[in-house]
Structure 1
Amino acid sequence: MQQDAIIIGGGFAGLSAAYILARARRHVTIIDSGTPRNRFAARAHGVLGHDGKSGAEILAEARAQLAAYPTVTFIEGEADSAEGVIDDFAVRIEGHGSIATRRVLLASGVEDRLPDIPGLRERWGKTVLHCPYCHGYEIGGGPIGVIATQPMSSHQAVVVADWGDVTLFTNGMSEPDVATLDLLARRGVTLQPGAVVSVDGALDGPAQVRLSNGRSIAVKALFITPDLHIRGSLAHNLGCTLEDSPAGKIIATNAMKATSTAGVFAAGDNARAFGNITLSSADGVMAGLGVHQSLMFPATHS
């Protein structure tokens, strides 16, 4: 049977969109690989009513609730390809063949690609972090490092300074301009020149940031801005326009989360510059509304 919508990705954006469509009694299939972006973090914070739960626990509760809706189907796996036009798409899933659908929602998220510095990957989601609003409070103050990976890293250091005593490791990047240097100084941020060659120490304890100039500086946690890469090739398959964000390419969408390809929508981290659980969920709700409206009024909402 042709689906009203296939949702690629069963994270917070995808499941939030599925709720909207399920409650409108639309037939929805959710394809999910079981590898959410936040799987490296033990706890989720700042999520209304769920503070301190793991992301996996929140998602499991949501899937259980969605499973009660008779028009919702879950498929565990990866979507290999997608093609077609509005009202007549086909999505191929490894091991499940091709499924016909009127609409496609891309909510598979992004991959965080970390700098090639020994010791970073093992600590990702533990003491190497990207969002102070999500994890800064639990650090408890004290020495915190920010490793520069792009020009916006100075801005990140300015923000992180509310959670501790920040050292910005310039990591071979150009020194910030005078105005930025003044702002960093007013925020108490110390600049440390030299390339970062490794991050050493216990994985669950303070880290030693070792520099090419021979110095080693201890910090309780490190913040970085990873390069974001849209997961999978479906946005490309379907001809969706991409746009630049400070951390990488994202799928361009309008206010109702419709992409440049009629009948294709996108929500969550692959379609917004900055995200967390709450923002991704809200993005998914908007996408669900957009998909539903387009099924009723395709000429004005696709």
Structure 2
Amino acid sequence: MIPKTISNETSLRPIFDVAIIGGSFAGLTAAMQLARARRNICVMDAGKPRNRFALTSHGFLGLDGKSPTEIRKTAISQLMAYPTVTMRDGLVSHAEPHAGPHDSDMRFDITIEGSECITARRIILATGVRDILPDISGMTERWGVTVLHCPYCHGYEVRDEQIGVIATMPQSSHQAMMLPDWGPTTYFTQGVYLPDDETSAKMAQRGITIENSPVVALLGTAPTLEAVRLADGRTLPITAVFTGPKVAMPSPVAELLGCAFDDGPQGPFIKVDASQETTVPGIFAAGDAAAARHNATLASAAGIMAGFGAHQSLIFA
């Protein structure tokens, strides 16, 4: 099936049933549902998935230990077997709605930077988020290997090692409470996120060491980690660090389209309902961009719901 075209001032522009912005776990899962529903879809991807720094993905049923890159390549290969799927490489730099008198007439114009403009009847935003790491020497070059964020994704791989938690928010103490199940844990408050008396007592029961002198540098040959240097000059042996980076939207598209946001502990995320529809009719969102809790399996599950929601909105508009 070939997408219909509509004329604009200078050319014929393809029109798709659904445009999916973002081609990682959430976006590709949403695309699969729509491809199997025989809808003409276009998946646009800038080629910078959030998980590109991780060597392996864990906890994903049937794919444990596979690299995120390998998972995406397999998914794209399977997706492209469906004749109604189009893929475009590039960053979506602009999008704007053109609503008709009825929901069924809804249209969105989407611009791929330096490439082309397409039109779609529905949009799924699966852009992920951009991580903003603490401003500590040695963090960036270790991100995804020995500087980590999810105990369930990476805790097993650093089991029985000396684990540190660098606090970035009040909820960091919750992260620290989980980690002794994988290894001896030190909670670095950074002199800011000190636990209250009750939490301190619970940490003591879990065998967690609380350190108030801030971490100022990570030591060793990156991406490995051997120790951390503290502001008071001490050096402590630590071989893996967990932290909660702040997050930001990597693309202005959701804001340009008028989608509302909720505030999460790490940063904003797109507000959606039970069908993953945003506050703008016809626009859906899934994955890390639309959830406070970030996990590959949860992203894929949300992608399924967004695919279902977009498809059914085309039918029942």
Aligned equivalent of 1:188: 207
Q: How far apart in 1 are the matches of 2:226 and 2:125?
A: 37
Aligned length: 298
Which residue of the partner structure matches residue 10 of structure 1? Answer: 23
Aligned to 1:267: 286
Per the TM alignment, residue 123 of structure 1 is displaced from its structure 2 partner at its CA by 0.5
* Alignment-derived partner of residue 199 in structure 1: 218
SS in 1 for 2:273: coil
Q: For residue 49 of structure 1, what is the aligned residue in structure 2?
A: 62
AA of the residue aligned to 1:216: T
On the 8 A contact 2:167/2:193 being kept in 1, the answer is no
SS in 2 for 1:279: helix
- Say whether 1:73 aligns with 2:86: yes
SS at match of 1:43: coil
Cα distance between partner residues in 2 of 1:116 and 1:140: 26
Q: Which residue of 1 aligns with 2:238?
A: 219
Is 1:25 the counterpart of 2:38? The answer is: yes
TM-score by length of structure 2 reads 0.92
Query: Relative to structure 1, is the Cα distance of residues 277 and 174 closer, same or farther in structure 2, using a 3 angstrom cutoff?
Result: closer
Q: Does 1:104 align with 2:123?
A: yes
Q: Deviations over 1:222-270 (max 9, x none)?
A: 0000001111000110000000111110000000000000111100000
Following superposition of structure 1 onto structure 2, how do residues 142-157 of structure 1 map, counting pairs within 5 Å? 142-157=161-176
RMSD over aligned CA atoms reads: 1.0
User: Offset at 1:206?
Assistant: 3.5
CA distance in 1 between counterparts of 2:205 and 2:180 reads: 10
SS state of the match for residue 260, structure 1?
coil
User: Is the CA contact (8 Å cut-off) linking 1:38 and 1:55 kept in structure 2?
Assistant: yes
Counterpart pick for 2:255 among 220, 230, 236:
236
Query: Which runs of no fewer than 5 residues in structure 2 stay unpaired?
Result: 6-14, 100-105
Q: In the TM superposition, what whole-angstrom CA distance separates every residue of 1:67-121 from its partner, at most 9, and x where no partner exists?
A: 0111100000010100014521100112332111100111010011101101011
Distance in 1, matches of 2:45 and 2:119, equals 17
Whole-Å separation in 2 of the counterparts to 1:255 and 1:204? 40
The match for 1:61 is: 74
Deviates more, 1:180-189 or 1:104-113: 180-189
Matches of residues 168-187 of structure 1 in structure 2 within 5 Å? 168-187=187-206
Q: Secondary structure at the match of 1:15?
A: helix
Deviation (angstroms), 1:46: 1.1
Deviation at 1:297, TM superposition (A): 1.3
**Deviates further, 77-86 or 265-274:** 77-86
Question: What is the Cα deviation at residue 204 of structure 1?
Answer: 4.0
* Paired amino acid for 1:21: L
> Does residue 1:252 correspond to 2:271, yes or no?
yes
Provide the rounded CA distance (Å) in 2 between the counterparts of 1:58 and 1:115.
29
1:16-56 residue CA offsets vs partner (Å, 9 max, x unmatched): 00011111110100000111111111111111111111010
Contact 2:145 2:224 (8 Å CA) reproduced: no
Task: Name which of 217, 227, 233 aligns with 1:208.
Answer: 227
- Aligned residue for 2:10? none
Contact 1:85 / 1:262 at 8 angstroms: preserved in 2? no
Summarize deviations over 1:152-174 as a string: whole Å, max 9, x none: 11000001121110000111214
Secondary structure of 2:203 counterpart:
helix
Distance in 2, matches of 1:232 and 1:81, equals 9
Q: Is the 8 A contact 1:8 1:31 kept in 2?
A: yes
For the residue of structure 1 that corresponds to 2:18, the secondary structure is strand
User: How far apart are residue 214 of structure 1 and its match?
Assistant: 1.2
Where do 1:78-157 residues align within 5 Å?
78-86=91-99, 87-157=106-176
Match in the other structure for 2:299 = 280
Cα distance in 2 for residues equivalent to 1:292 and 1:176: 47
Structure 1 residues 163 and 85: CA distance shift in structure 2, 3 A: farther
Q: Does 1:35 align with 2:54?
A: no
- Write the distance in 2 (CA, Å) between the matches of 1:276 and 1:59: 15
TM-score, structure 1 normalization: 0.96
Deviation at 1:140, TM superposition (A): 2.5
**Which runs of 5 or more residues in structure 1 are unaligned?**
none
**Large movers: runs of 4+ above 6 Å:** none
